[in-house]
Amino acid sequence: MKLTRRQGLKTVFGAAMGSALGNAALPGAAEAQTRSETLRHVMAGTVNTLDATAPGGTREVFGVAMNIYDRLASFGRKQVDGVWTFDFDNIRGELAERIDRSADGRTLTFHLRQGATWHDGSAVTAEDVKWSLDRAVLAKSMSAAQIASGSLTKPEQFRVAGERTVEVLLDKPDRLALANLCIPLSPIMNSTLVKKNATADDVWATAWLKDNTAAGGAYIVEQHRPGQQTILKRNEAWKGGADGKLPFFKRIIAQTVPDPANRASLIERGDADLSVDLQAGDITSLQERGKVKLVAIPQTNGFNAIIFNSGVAPFDNVKVRQAVAAALPYDDMFKAALFARGRQLFGATWTEAPDAGFPQRLPLRTDLARAKQLMSDAGMASGFATTFSFPAGAASIAEPTAALIKEALAKIGIDVSIQKLPDAQFTTMQVDRRLPFFIESGTAWLPATDYFFRTYFSGRHRWNFGSYRNEELDGLVQAARFETDAEKYKVACKRMITILAEEVPSLMLWQPNQDAVMAPTIDGFTYWFHRQVDYRDLRRV
């Protein structure tokens, strides 16, 4: 029998859902397993591990892990233009019911929630928290490097101070210490259970935790098929919610459906509830037919940018970088690459940064006469040849952008060859600093201005994409990290942003939208720093 595309999708997806729901699909099933209280999330990527701290984990792992594990603290939520987003400036307790900060900012005290339990029913203890934080800094995982950005580096900093009390001790009052305890790389684990599954060669049970959990969060893993689907059921004993309530959905089915058209079709037909990684063309068509709900918000802690390799000629010359910046057609690129679906980071008119927030709109505007003059001032009035590169995986955005860059720079004598590279080759050449200039994206889980600049524009490391060095900026970045005076911090941040605008080591282009397409009955979607779905926020109306 030959199936049509629609019949094939319905058969495959229906079979998967029937298997996933088990008896829930049968008459008389328990209320906890009805369709109305089951969320079906279809995604392009896979959940390849249940441990968000494991090297090589996919981005989808972060979203699932946030729902399985609790952390000591969590960012709050706020509404911006009617859309929910995480609130970096509002940190509340999650596993902790109260957080105290000492007057000097060097001691954080966490008071654990009364009655908090693990998924196996045993009580959460202060010793579990101490062990989990020790693991974060000692295990060979993704955690150590990240939380070190908040000066969390050694087990001696974590102290059991009472039956339900843990202290975190800092040498200096690092602005990002508490924020680093809100992220997927700081899970609190059932240490007794983990220790039972550790070995002499794997004392932190990293292998066991890849396919098992030692958690106490809002959801319990019911089934996990790496690369296919993960099914979660609500933890009826969970106490970590901001309002003390349990999540609405009693069951979550997170399934990999690689083809974006298939994901779009499943949501439009009502066979799935949510996807956050559809293609722009599919989203436009879905909107026109009016059968789905779209929540779109710019990725407030991310960016797309053109990066110059400022360590080598000709882009070590600030006037050349300024000339390119003045020649580019920003509006045209924004429309061609994103269909204007996002927030512009160009077009400002200031000469000194007006506020301390970042990313913000920078004074990047098209001015061909100025671009030609800057080329002459740089001693390159006759122009030069160079290569603009991008990874194949970013082609939908980068190809139209590259074509416009080539056309625009030809007007000031720069002959651009466009180089589309396999993703792995692009990354290797970028890390080796062998690309003259290229398009790249970045995301800061902790969107503090000094953290952005420390990560992307300072230091000798992987994420300073263009090898940019500026002594004044480096000094500002390091000082701001430990600055306790709010006004002095703002002044330092505004100066960092002004330096970036003047020296243009990177051209900040835009923040793409996070487009969440969902059934009209789904409400509460929130944009989170990890760009994945927090099921705890959602409900069906």
Render each residue's pLDDT in the chain as its tens digit; 541 residues.
Answer: 333 333 434 433 444 444 444 333 333 334 445 789 999 999 999 999 999 999 999 999 999 999 999 999 999 999 998 999 999 999 999 999 999 999 999 999 999 999 999 999 999 999 999 999 999 999 999 999 999 999 999 999 999 999 999 999 999 999 999 999 999 999 999 999 999 999 999 999 999 999 999 999 999 999 999 989 999 999 999 988 777 789 999 999 999 999 999 999 999 999 999 999 998 778 888 988 999 999 999 999 999 999 999 999 999 999 999 999 999 999 999 999 998 989 999 999 999 999 999 999 999 999 999 999 999 999 999 999 999 999 999 999 999 999 999 999 999 999 999 999 999 999 999 999 999 999 999 999 999 999 999 999 999 889 999 999 999 999 999 999 999 999 999 999 999 999 999 999 999 999 999 999 999 999 999 999 999 999 999 999 9
**Does 536 map to a domain?**
no
DSSP string, 17-52: HHHHHGGGGSTT--GGG-GGGEEEEEESS----S-T
CA distances from 488 to 40, 308, 357, 454, 500 (A): 47, 30, 14, 17, 19
98 and 12 within one domain: no
Residue where a domain terminates, one of 281, 310, 335: 281
End-to-end Cα, the chain, rounded Å = 40
How many residues does this entry show for the chain?
541
Report the distance separating Cα 164 and Cα 293, nearest Å. 43
The answer to whether 243 and 217 are in contact (CB under 8 A) is no
Show the tokens assigned to 165. 């009390």
Q: What is the CATH number of the domain that holds 241?
A: 3.40.190.10
Q: What is the CATH number of the domain that holds 170?
A: 3.90.76.10
Show the tokens assigned to 151. 């000066």
Report the distance separating Cα 372 and Cα 405, nearest Å. 15
Query: Strand pairing of 165-169 and 229-234?
Result: unpaired
pLDDT of 33: 59
Query: What's the one-letter identity of residue 55?
Result: P
pLDDT of 241: 77
**Does 295 map to a domain?**
no
Residue where a domain terminates, one of 281, 311, 337: 281
Report the distance separating Cα 203 and Cα 186, nearest Å. 18
Residue where a domain terminates, one of 191, 225, 254: 191
pTM value is 0.89
490 and 344 within one domain: yes
83 and 43 within one domain: no
Report the distance separating Cα 74 and Cα 70, nearest Å. 9
- Beta strands (DSSP E) in 258-360 are 274-275, 293-298, 302-308, 342-344
**Does 199 map to a domain?**
no
377 and 317 within one domain: yes
92 and 36 within one domain: no
DSSP string, 318-337: HHHHHHHHHH--HHHHHHHH
399 and 260 within one domain: no
248 and 139 within one domain: no
470 and 352 within one domain: yes
pLDDT of 193: 98
Site of tokens 């070590």: 316
Helix/strand/coil percent split, the chain, to 5: 35, 25, 40
138 and 239 within one domain: no
122 and 134 within one domain: yes
Helix (H) or strand (E) holding 400: helix 395-410
For residue 50, is it left (φ>0), alpha (ψ between -120 and 50) or beta?
alpha
Q: What is the CATH number of the domain that holds 327?
A: 3.10.105.10
pLDDT of 282: 85
79 and 45 within one domain: no
CA distances from 195 to 143, 191, 214, 309, 319 (A): 19, 6, 10, 47, 59
Report the distance separating Cα 268 and Cα 258, nearest Å. 17
pLDDT of 15: 41
Of 259, 215, 340, the closest CA to residue 43 belongs to 259
Show the tokens assigned to 148. 């070190």
pLDDT of 73: 97
pLDDT of 447: 93
- Beta strands (DSSP E) in 117-218 are 158-162, 165-169
320 and 259 within one domain: no
**Does 520 map to a domain?**
no
CA distances from 125 to 154, 310, 311 (A): 20, 51, 51
**Does 202 map to a domain?**
no
Report the distance separating Cα 423 and Cα 391, nearest Å. 5
- Quote the number of domains for the chain: 3
pLDDT of 287: 87
Which range of residues forms the domain containing residue 253?
5-69+217-281
What are residue 252's phi and psi, to 5 degrees?
A: -125, 130
**Does 286 map to a domain?**
no
The answer to whether 345 and 510 are in contact (CB under 8 A) is yes
**Does 452 map to a domain?**
yes
Q: Is residue 152 helix, strand or coil?
A: coil
The answer to whether 492 and 49 are in contact (CB under 8 A) is no
Omega within 30 of 0 (cis) for the link into 314? yes
Show the tokens assigned to 15. 């079979």
